[in-house]
Copies of this chain bind each other. A is one copy, B any other.
Amino acid sequence: MKKLINDPRAVVDESVQGFGLAHADLVSVSADPLFVFRREPARQGKVGLVSGGGSGHEPLHAGYVGLGMLDAAVPGAVFTSPTPDQILPATLAASTGAGVVHIVKNYTGDVLNFETAAELAQAEGVEVRQVLVNDDVAVEDSLYTAGRRGVGGTVLIEKIAGAAAERGDDLDAVAAIAQRVNDSVRTMGVALAACTVPHAGVPSFELAEDEIEIGVGIHGEPGRHRIAMESADGITDRLLQPILTELDLAAGAQVLLFVNGMGGTPLSELYIVYRRAAQVLAEAGAQVARSLVGNYITALEMQGCSISVLRLDADMVELWDAPVHTPALRWGV
């Protein structure tokens, strides 16, 4: 394992410190307990938006703290949910009296820790709504799993719900739009090579030179099945097919197409995937109205990508286009 790190146990602390220094105009960092919050407090009466989860998915979540997106982000250890003693003060920091929405990726650890923090916050008089992100079509949502995982859709939910909160929507409305985006987005990922968790020191799974892992998540966990290496177009078709089956788009439906890099894949390859995905969507009669291509929710240096398709409505388009000013996503300001 070769990484640009010092002590494997200090990676999250040191990385968040560096992040805080680089973006001191936008965010402040609480070192212990560790969380990141907006430097300029949001105006009174704005619904607070908090997310968090294991580290290793940068720029998620801290990179999305700022105007029009999150009020606070809570980084756990690498691929490990943060704890209630971090989430609670982040929630309090995000609260201006109008309640706080927790955007939580649907992993047992995240759900349990955010639940506990929400109870504690409620005991301190802050109303909390939890919205679970579970957009990953690779996992069957059934009694026989922990439910679908939250993956690429998280970024879109944080952007759109953040814009709703900035616009002045109330607690229920912000939670409702977050839920609506979650219900309208589907994602599937692929890994060409695994990542190495710093404290583990070895790759989180082994892939032969001619194998890829289809339906992979963002924690270095193995995917749903392993197949022989294919062309970018072939892989793109495999990822899109279950997404399209689930979304069941009407002809002329407007969509947002999000091709996300897992951290170790060149941008040029993401555009090759985007090219094919746009072709397939056009053939399916959908209209790609908005796009996002890049490393927005990663799994350390994993090689691979995920494709997300979000069925848009007019309100979502307006909220997507609304100004955002965070370290990792910025426009209109």
* CB proximity to B under 8 Å, residues A258-278: 259, 263-276, 278
Say yes or no: is A4 at the interface (Cβ < 8 Å to chain B): yes
Q: Check A264/B264 contact, CB under 8 A, given A6-B231, A21-B274, A303-B2.
A: yes
Most chain B beta-carbon contacts within 10 A, residue among A2, A5, A295, A304: A2
CA distance A225 to B330 in the complex (A): 39
Say yes or no: is A209 at the interface (Cβ < 8 Å to chain B): yes
User: Which residues of B are found within 8 Å of A267, using beta-carbon distances?
Assistant: 58-59, 63, 263, 295, 298
A5 touches B231 (CB 8 A): yes
Interface residues of A: mostly helix, strand, loop or mixed? Answer: mixed
Q: Which of A12-20, A103-111, A114-122, A243-251 contacts B (4 or more CB under 8 A)?
A: A12-20
Say yes or no: is A229 at the interface (Cβ < 8 Å to chain B): yes
Nearest B residue to A264 via CB reads: B264
Select A15's contact among B12, B271, B305, beta carbons within 8 Å: B271
Say yes or no: is A112 at the interface (Cβ < 8 Å to chain B): no
B303 touches A301 (CB 8 A): yes
User: Which residues of B are found within 8 Å of A333, using beta-carbon distances?
Assistant: 331-332
Say yes or no: is A291 at the interface (Cβ < 8 Å to chain B): yes
Say yes or no: is A193 at the interface (Cβ < 8 Å to chain B): yes
Instruction: Give the shortest distance, in Å, between A320 (CB) and chain B (any CB).
Output: 13
Most chain B beta-carbon contacts within 10 A, residue among A16, A275, A298: A275
Q: Check A272/B303 contact, CB under 8 A, given A59-B267, A267-B59.
A: no
Say yes or no: is A293 at the interface (Cβ < 8 Å to chain B): yes
A192 touches B3 (CB 8 A): yes
Say yes or no: is A22 at the interface (Cβ < 8 Å to chain B): yes
Say yes or no: is A11 at the interface (Cβ < 8 Å to chain B): yes
Say yes or no: is A220 at the interface (Cβ < 8 Å to chain B): no
Say yes or no: is A55 at the interface (Cβ < 8 Å to chain B): yes
CA distance A16 to B257 in the complex (A): 17
Select A272's contact among B4, B192, B232, beta carbons within 8 Å: B4
Most chain B beta-carbon contacts within 10 A, residue among A58, A271, A305: A271
Instruction: Give the shortest distance, in Å, between A28 (CB) and chain B (any CB).
Output: 15
Say yes or no: is A233 at the interface (Cβ < 8 Å to chain B): yes
* Residue-wise interface mask of A (269-297) relative to B, using a CB-CB cutoff of 8 A (1 in contact, 0 not): 11111111010000000001001010100
Say yes or no: is A139 at the interface (Cβ < 8 Å to chain B): no
A residues apposed to B, CB below 8 Å: 2-6, 11-12, 14-19, 21-23, 55-56, 58-59, 63, 192-193, 209-210, 212, 229, 231-233, 235, 257, 259, 263-276, 278, 288, 291, 293, 295, 298, 300-301, 303-305, 330-333
